[in-house]
Structure 1
Amino acid sequence: MSQRNLIILRAGDGSLHPQWQVGATPDFDLFISYYGKQAGRHQADATYYEHRPGPKWSCIGELLASRPELLDRYDAFWFPDDDLAADAHTLNRMFALFHGFGLALAQPALTQDSFYSWDLLLQDPRYVLRHTGFVEVMAPIFSRAALKACLPTFTESRSGWGLDFVWPQLAARGSQRAIAVIDATPVRHTRALGGNLYANNPDLDPRADRADVVTRYQAQRAMVLAPHTCHGGVRLSGLGWWDALKWAWRRKYALHRMRQRRRQGKAEGL
């Protein structure tokens, strides 16, 4: 049976993705886009497979341009780095919370022992999730609509720098509740930042990429959100992630019913 969720992974020889399929039945399909030199490596692990050398984001942009049917087949898309440690149970919960809270753009929090760039993205155990103005290129999750809005940017920065400053404006359409860091499902970033990307692509100029992307989209957008923006979150308050998810679904259903009543009232001239 087809899943609602797709992970598209740019995988090298030492990818940690085998861990992601252990601990529960995966509620996701896996597209491995292998960038190494061993023909067929990891192919047995994948729902879909290709071999495509090059940097992460421009290659994902090219992949999706060549496989547009994927955008209509799935509801949520995760684009993790291949050095994230997690299991299927954690990733299933991550996707469930993403859907349950009606998010457009998110990422799992990083464990406190991870290599990291931004304090904002480290797990805060007090919360199920925190609404933010920023997620990182390391592990973003997109809804279908958000991915379609952001996809043209993927090939505009070979290093990926700058893309995460632009995505909140394109994906969230001004909603502060559409973007979140999901604390209930942390993953561990196991390697130093940028290692394989820059080693395998020495021609990259990340600072120039960031300047180009930010300048281009500042000309079209009122602002680019800074990464240290946080708008509060959903507290655990002694409840588990499943209770929080049920709360989110009840809230989502109540909002849906309220909008239905409003539309019905307008149709009846009330």
Structure 2
Amino acid sequence: MGTMHRSGLAPRRTNENAKVVITTILGIVVGTFIGITLPSLSLKINFPSALISSLDVALSDGHLLSTHKSPEDFGSRKFPEIYVPTNPHGAELLPPGIVVAKTDLYLRRLWGEPNEDLKKKPKYLVTFTVGFEQRNHINTVVKKFSEDFQILLFHYDGRTTEWDQFEWSKTAIHISTRKQTKWWYAKRFLHPDVVSAYEYIFIWDEDLGVEHFNADKYIELVKKNGLEISQPGLEANNGLTWEMTKRRGDREVHKNTKEKSGWCSDPHLPPCAAFVEIMAPVFSREAWRCVWHMIQNDLVHGWGLDFALRRCVEPAHEKIGVVDSQWIIHKVIPSLGSQGKSENGKAPWQGVRERCKKEWTMFQNRLADADKEYLGRMVVKE
């Protein structure tokens, strides 16, 4: 009976052994195929668009990439592709955590810990476009600004190191290019992303008397009255052109005026309101971001810009004004004219003056054409 029992199980064991062998062979074949194709396998994973629109996760050597890896860890092998459309233009291929979209003009040391560089961060930026001949006057003006103000000098005569006779000059920022205007400098060196650290930006001429001006009190009044674009009141003298910017002795701030008959088509429009001159404007960082984009690269004198500033704040007749209780005097020093060139028998200042007037017309035409083009597109869409 025992012999009969053994002989009955033999065929079953043979079949089972065959299945094991076949399964093993198939496993080897499939495993080999996977091993060959796995390194080139790419999985597409979609993350929320606010973070990363897509990230290609490559499988290297058959293992998922660690979240702690960096491109340097993989050498020439494929690293996850990054594309972040919400990053600033040009930085889409960078992880958001390393992107620094804005900068500042804070002066830093060449040694020590970076987080210990700044004992105090200036809140406001004051710029003057200067020549060395006006150094003593500028020295007087700068003293009206506290440590909360960063001083920046644009030098149109190329002389910079001589200014170090003044102690404050050693911590000021100096930018020098010969025979340029403040609007040329502003367009190239005061990009909104460069000066965004400052709440207010002063872009002033070099010939302003400040005997009756205090910068800290000025800022207080600007904030109190909600002014996004402003200037100090001007003492009435031969340097006064517009009624709007004339100082009024009976108030802290004014936002409108009455001009000569026929000068104002609307009481809320320049030059009766929503208007300051270009000699001593002060901009909030938000207003400056708009104004900077309106400055033309080739129109360096800025004439006509004052009438267009209202485009950058709403309602303009409420957010543009003149601070009367902190006022200045326009000394009318013709330093800019001396930077011109005598041509066709004309004095240097005459050529500069003609260029100013020509630029005013060109700016007006460009703005009108831009309005017409934009409004034309709106009509077509409707």
2:123 corresponds in structure 1 to 4
Whether 2:300 is the aligned partner of 1:158: answer: yes
Higher relative contact order (CA 8 A, sep 6+): 1
1:253-268 mapped onto 2 (5 Å cutoff):
none
1:180-219 mapped onto 2 (5 Å cutoff):
180-192=321-333, 195-202=334-341, 204=352, 205-219=355-369
Q: 1:166 to 1:23 in 2, by over 3 A?
A: closer
Q: 1:94 to 1:212 in 2, by over 3 A?
A: same
1:17-32 mapped onto 2 (5 Å cutoff):
17-22=138-143, 25-32=146-153
Displacement of 1:179: 0.1
TM, length-normalised to structure 1: 0.72
Q: 1:221 to 1:177 in 2, by over 3 A?
A: farther
2:61 corresponds in structure 1 to none
Give the alignment partner of residue 223 of structure 2, picking from 86, 99, 119: 99
Displacement of 1:21: 3.5
Q: 1:45 to 1:151 in 2, by over 3 A?
A: same
Structure number, greater radius of gyration: 2
Displacement of 1:147: 0.5
Q: What is the CA deviation profile of residues 135-169 of structure 1, one whole-angstrom value per residue up to 9, with x for unaligned ones?
A: 11100000111101010233352122111111122
1:26-175 mapped onto 2 (5 Å cutoff):
26-43=147-164, 44-46=167-169, 47-53=172-178, 54-65=180-191, 69-86=193-210, 90-113=214-237, 115-131=239-255, 132-154=273-295, 155-169=297-311, 171-175=312-316
Report the 3-state secondary structure (helix = DSSP H, G, I; strand = E; otherwise coil) of the residue aligned with 1:121. coil
What is the percent sequence identity of the aligned residues?
A: 19
Q: What is the CA deviation profile of residues 54-79 of structure 1, one whole-angstrom value per residue up to 9, with x for unaligned ones?
A: 122112211224xx553221010011
Q: 1:59 to 1:23 in 2, by over 3 A?
A: closer
Displacement of 1:97: 1.4
Select between 21-30 and 209-218 the one with higher mean Cα deviation. 21-30
Q: 1:113 to 1:206 in 2, by over 3 A?
A: closer
Q: Is the 8 A contact 1:5 1:95 kept in 2?
A: no
The amino acid of 1:8's aligned partner reads T
Select between 52-61 and 212-221 the one with higher mean Cα deviation. 212-221
2:112 corresponds in structure 1 to none
Displacement of 1:24: 7.1
5+ long unaligned stretches in structure 2: 1-119, 256-272, 342-350, 373-382
Whether 2:303 is the aligned partner of 1:178: answer: no
1:252 corresponds in structure 2 to none
Equivalences, count = 217
The amino acid of 1:191's aligned partner reads V
Q: 1:24 to 1:172 in 2, by over 3 A?
A: closer
Q: Distance in 1 between matches of 2:283 and 2:235?
A: 21
Q: Distance in 2 between matches of 1:93 and 1:149?
A: 26
2:102 corresponds in structure 1 to none
The amino acid of 1:118's aligned partner reads W
Q: Is the 8 A contact 1:26 1:92 kept in 2?
A: no
Q: 1:217 to 1:23 in 2, by over 3 A?
A: closer
Displacement of 1:200: 0.5
5+ long unaligned stretches in structure 1: 223-270
Report the 3-state secondary structure (helix = DSSP H, G, I; strand = E; otherwise coil) of the residue aligned with 1:196. coil
Q: Distance in 1 between matches of 2:161 and 2:326?
A: 31
Displacement of 1:39: 3.8
Q: What is the CA deviation profile of residues 30-56 of structure 1, one whole-angstrom value per residue up to 9, with x for unaligned ones?
A: 111111243423355342121122122
